[in-house]
């Protein structure tokens, strides 16, 4: 997330935690074992192994410097400092925060975005076809995709809404599903191909 997104993200995560609990998709008990990780890189690699990142994505993401302020507690929050800063900093060892920031990092480093924003940083941050599919998912009627439909609806119709913030759309749905692309309709899951393993039926 960019520095300018912190307020928005904090509000959104507050909403999600209120609805889903603090550890969306987290494995209770595993991430809370204090002192298990000698450093942030060890936690990063553990997350990369426990969630369905593709081998190619894991290879890229293992090169991203990864600092964790509190290695003993699953405190939420963190940031990706963009392709120029090229590092992730987390408040604690929370799986959801890690998956979220790793998704931000992958999207920038793998060249996911297509367009620069007129008032944005000097690298691409917009992806209009992906955004259109998130918009479609906001009204997805299939109950199998209810969680993603809810998140997409918040992004598209919520107050304040997400406007043109495609990086938060992308990372928000990544951590909202914890990489389980079976939770997404296939027209949306396809955008995560390369970051997460696509279910067999979608290939
Ligand atoms: Zn973010």
Q: What is the pLDDT of residues 87-139, one digit of tens each?
A: 999 999 999 999 999 999 999 999 999 999 999 999 999 999 999 999 999 99
* Alpha carbon distance 197, 186 (integer Å): 13
CA of 202 to the centre of ligand 1 (A): 26
Q: Determine what percent of the chain falls in helix, strand and coil, rounding each to the nearest 5.
A: 50, 10, 40
Supply the angle between the helices 166-177 and 128-137 in degrees, to the nearest 10: 50
- Would the pLDDT of 203 be above 90? no
| Cβ count near 61 (within 10 Å) | 24
CA of 78 to the centre of ligand 1 (A): 8
* Alpha carbon distance 134, 156 (integer Å): 8
CA of 100 to the centre of ligand 1 (A): 6
């Amino acid at each position: 997330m960019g520095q300018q997104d912190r307020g928005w993200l904090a509000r959104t995560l507050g909403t999600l935690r209120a609805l889903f609990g603090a550890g969306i998709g987290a494995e209770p008990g595993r991430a809370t074992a204090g002192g298990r990780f000698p450093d942030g890189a060890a936690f990063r690699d553990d997350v990369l192994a426990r969630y369905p990142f593709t081998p190619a994505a894991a290879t890229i993401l293992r090169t991203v410097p990864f600092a964790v302020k509190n290695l003993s507690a699953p405190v939420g929050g963190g940031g990706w400092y963009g392709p120029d800063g090229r590092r992730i900093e987390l408040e604690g060892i929370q799986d959801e925060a890690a998956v979220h920031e790793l998704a931000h990092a992958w999207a920038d480093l793998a060249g996911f975005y297509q367009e620069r924003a007129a008032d944005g940083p000097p690298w691409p941050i917009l992806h209009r076809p992906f955004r259109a599919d998130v918009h479609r998912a906001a009204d997805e009627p299939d109950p199998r995709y209810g969680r993603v439909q809810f998140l997409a609806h918040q992004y598209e119709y919520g107050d304040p809404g997400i406007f043109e913030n495609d990086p938060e759309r992308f990372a928000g749905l990544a951590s909202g599903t914890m990489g389980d692309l079976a939770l997404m309709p296939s027209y949306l899951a396809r955008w995560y191909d390369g970051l997460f393993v696509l279910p067999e039926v979608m290939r």
